[in-house]
Structure 1
């Protein structure tokens, strides 16, 4: 088996992965995953690792592709974790495959990049997402796209992509989730991301500045703190963003890192009181007109998802029809073994 260390294209994948992972408009925290197929082996990002660290540490592991594809076609549950197909001798760190490994496998191109870019998420969160996307992508030279309404990430999503995508598909839009591009080279895949992102982009709605002094006063003595990224405050200072965020959850990683939806602090209430009366205190607390607070026990990556919420909702028109994750879909995520594992890694990294 040719090792990834011998492959110049793999070096390009590491570089592109790191750049995508460091750009909060492209992906956030441990979200997103990338892969390269070589000699019957799928080198895919490991679960819980960060694309941003692709050049600093080993985040990829090898999975034998032919038996994985057979398992996907047979709807064999072993394809969901893909651990049975890891090439153990070439995985000395004992990494676990990404929950999206089966998604990377069903696309035939050598390079697959899956990200949660905010331009895409703002479009695929719409109830009329397919039509909204068609108006922007149809007719673009060299782009063959498909749209998949929200399906639980992993094996169910992989099978749905395989079922609905025509031959030659190189762009897949995932309802309430994100973007996948596929190409024969890393450079071509990155170029697809740029083209799709540009086509889907909309003006960002401005937001008033946060009231930092008021937030600090509210946080004092409470289990809450200010976010590390001031951009997160726009969720609460822009009434249109707040109206969207207060209605529910738009995409899976918000549930994983911040819990269900966004709590809104009522006038006259305090963060401490909210935490004391809640069996599960909200991880993200919006203070209307002032900004947001984050629970001190938030998982590593929670701050990045707080910023993402402001970025996504700021790109959604006030009157856009939206589709939120259902209670059952949220519960499916928080009780899913793959996400329990990913949260355990985030918790360990935080400590």
Structure 2
């Protein structure tokens, strides 16, 4: 990769790619095409491309160079062009024609040279609580951090961050969304990420083993199958997790890859019966179905992104106190996400990646 002013900057970029691959390979930090990382150098922001997977950073060119000064001016002017940031890409250094991450404005507004944004399940499980700012504050005491209530990812979130962060703020906890850490070197950023995740970590609630025999019987004659990840079953086999999931949508990527909320089967209902019930209500066949006390079934055409988010639901809900008051995303939030061009683009790239594998 060319375009860096010196060998030191190029070495930092290589370190960022290595960190991105490590982070992206950890399902407790990043799921599917979620999360993004960046490096600023000589007025250019190198940001993960929309729809690409961080875990592939070591083998693929997944970063896009974006000119910082005009992008920041567009944010200040509330220019809609800042939302996609495509107008600010350094075309000569983007031979693949990649599109900047939907979070490009967030990275640009952080003054630190290196920024890492993850959908850490430890963070999300606290950030969905109604008292998130208080409980997180107890764990991150002594750090320069801020809590940002849920906003649609992209420019609205960037504006909310700009209003709340201080000059030295290097940790952002995003309501119903995830975690951002920033520092001036890749090594410092990785150390900060590890420290914050350790401070927010809790032991997940143990879940009963999935009843796969029962699930296969419930899937008979339907367009459903067992999930790729056995860990996904815990969202349904554990009663507390299932009840939490049934309450609604907890974070944006759930909407994007699994649909709004979680579909829970009634006692005795088969997968086919669930589909018929929803069809009578004018609803599509769900990407996943939770069978309380048994486990989860996935639609046959569920892609890698949906599979990753099915496991994420289990990982997040297992860490939520069953007695906590939670803030779920509303129908308007889901509608915003599902009809947002940036997310449609990200989903299309996921479909293309699946097709290429077959």
Confirm or deny: 8 A CA contact 1:2 1:39 kept in the other structure. no
Confirm or deny: 8 A CA contact 2:133 2:147 kept in the other structure. yes
Out of 54, 59, 64, the position equivalent to 1:61 is 64
Give 1:103 shift. Answer: 0.4
Mapped pair 1:11 → 2:39 = no
The aligned residue for residue 273 of structure 1 is: 273
Give 1:60 shift. Answer: 0.3
Out of 299, 303, 308, the position equivalent to 1:304 is 308
The aligned residue for residue 211 of structure 1 is: 211
Taking structure 1 as the reference length, what is the TM-score of the superposition?
Answer: 0.97
| Structure 1: stretches of 5+ with no match in the other structure | none
| Structure 2: stretches of 5+ with no match in the other structure | none
Q: Distance in 2 between matches of 1:4 and 1:302?
A: 40
Confirm or deny: 8 A CA contact 1:21 1:50 kept in the other structure. yes
Q: Distance in 2 between matches of 1:4 and 1:311?
A: 42
Q: Over residues 212-261 of structure 1, what are the superposed CA-to-partner deviations in whole Å (9 max), with x where a residue is unaligned? A: 11112222321111111100000111000000000001000000000011
SS, match of residue 304 in structure 2: coil
Q: Over residues 50-90 of structure 1, what are the superposed CA-to-partner deviations in whole Å (9 max), with x where a residue is unaligned? A: 00000011100100000000001111110000000000011
- Cα RMSD between the aligned structures? 1.3
Instruction: Sort the Cα spacing of 1:339 and 1:5 in 2 relative to 1 into closer, same or farther, 3 A.
Output: farther
SS, match of residue 289 in structure 1: coil
Out of 108, 113, 121, the position equivalent to 2:111 is 108
Out of 331, 334, 343, the position equivalent to 1:330 is 334
Give 1:319 shift. Answer: 0.5
Q: Over residues 281-309 of structure 1, what are the superposed CA-to-partner deviations in whole Å (9 max), with x where a residue is unaligned? A: 11110011110011122233111111111
The aligned residue for residue 193 of structure 1 is: 193
Mapped pair 1:258 → 2:261 = no
Taking structure 2 as the reference length, what is the TM-score of the superposition?
Answer: 0.95
Q: Distance in 1 between matches of 2:221 and 2:111?
A: 54
Q: What does 1:28-67 align with in structure 2 at a 5 Å threshold?
A: 28-67=31-70
Q: What does 1:120-159 align with in structure 2 at a 5 Å threshold?
A: 120-139=123-142, 143-159=143-159
Confirm or deny: 8 A CA contact 2:3 2:93 kept in the other structure. no
Runs of 4+ deviating beyond 3 Å: 1-6
The aligned residue for residue 319 of structure 1 is: 323
> May I ask how many residue pairs the two structures share in their alignment?
348
